[in-house]
Amino acid sequence: MFSKLKIMTGNANPLLAKEIASFAGIPLCETEVFKFSNDESFVKINDNVRGSDVFIVQPTCYPVNDNTMELLIMIDALKRASALRVNCVIPYYGYGRSDKKDQPRVPITAKLLADLITVAGANRVITLDLHADQIQGFFDIPVDHLYSMPIFIRYFKGLGIETDEIVIVSPDSGGANRARAFAKRLECSLAIGDKRRVANDSNAEVLNVIGEVKDKIAILYDDMIDTGGTLIRISEKLHELGAKQVYACCVHGILSNNAVENLENSTIDKLFITNSVPLPEEKRAKSSKIVQLSIAELLASAIKKIHLEESISLLFR
């Protein structure tokens, strides 16, 4: 049934790819992905992929440009090796925040990346929790946009916390719909942070929180945590307003610069992230607050259903 199903990976997140392959019951393709001394990337596929349905697991995370280039070269290599269909599994879609022209003379890089993937020869994209839903429309090929929310909901329900003790908090109005859906599924209340960005300053000043958080367990819910500045500031505000515990729940744990150290010294009690982006051991060792949940089973199920031309709507429940 799965003799023509192949899974391969570059250097972006090989541990996730191995876990996906394990859940799918399929060995990873033997692939060489490396750089020459002149910094050019090279790919060689050591397995026969002729007529196969191939899934490349490659988030375009740090180093973003290297991992993006590896993805494009792997697509090209597969097309030239006569693969029947090339599917790109991109759990974290880099450049996703450059999704609109909000200033004069700036690019829409999320669209450019979509064009590059399409022109390279990809037949389908499977991704997880895009920064903006409209990025799906940047592609001229099918996009399966999965959500990690069921994984987080299953985890928090397993903790046995009474739902009337919990409030889901969106860091800003832009993520309100995402947080509202989470609160609805968890059957708890919702609050929304009101923040203002100072001109020429990437830091956000939290002005207020709309909603009742006193004596509640506040769960900050966002699609990603990068430097962590916004979440740390709103966590402080939530404690000021009487929240008894503050958790942060973010799909993509970018954790750039000093984010891990800042998290460890912050008022956030726990940070829950997925393994869409690799978490190096040196970062993991710097904080006891990080809990990483796996998306491998979700992606493995999606891969098998797509290969069999089955509906994936079950995965959204």
Residues annotated catalytic, as ranges: 195
Please answer whether residues 220 and 248 qualify as being in contact, where contact means their C-beta atoms are separated by less than 8 angstroms: yes
Q: What are phi and psi of 247, to 5 degrees?
A: -110, 150
Please answer whether residues 241 and 269 qualify as being in contact, where contact means their C-beta atoms are separated by less than 8 angstroms: no
Measuring CA to CA, which residue among 285, 286, 229, 226 is closest to residue 261? 286
What DSSP letter does each residue of 101-121 carry, written as one string? --STT---HHHHHHHHHHHHT
φ/ψ region of 215 (left if φ > 0, alpha if ψ in -120 to 50, else beta) reads: left
Q: Which amino acid is at 202?
A: S
In angstroms, how far apart are the furthest CA atoms of the chain? 61
| Residue 142: alpha-carbon gap to chain centroid | 19
3-state helix, strand, coil in the chain (%, to 5): 35, 25, 40
Write out the E strands in the chain: 5-9, 31-35, 41-45, 53-57, 85-90, 124-128, 143-146, 166-170, 189-197, 204-210, 217-225, 245-253, 270-274, 290-293
Q: What are phi and psi of 228, to 5 degrees?
A: 85, 0
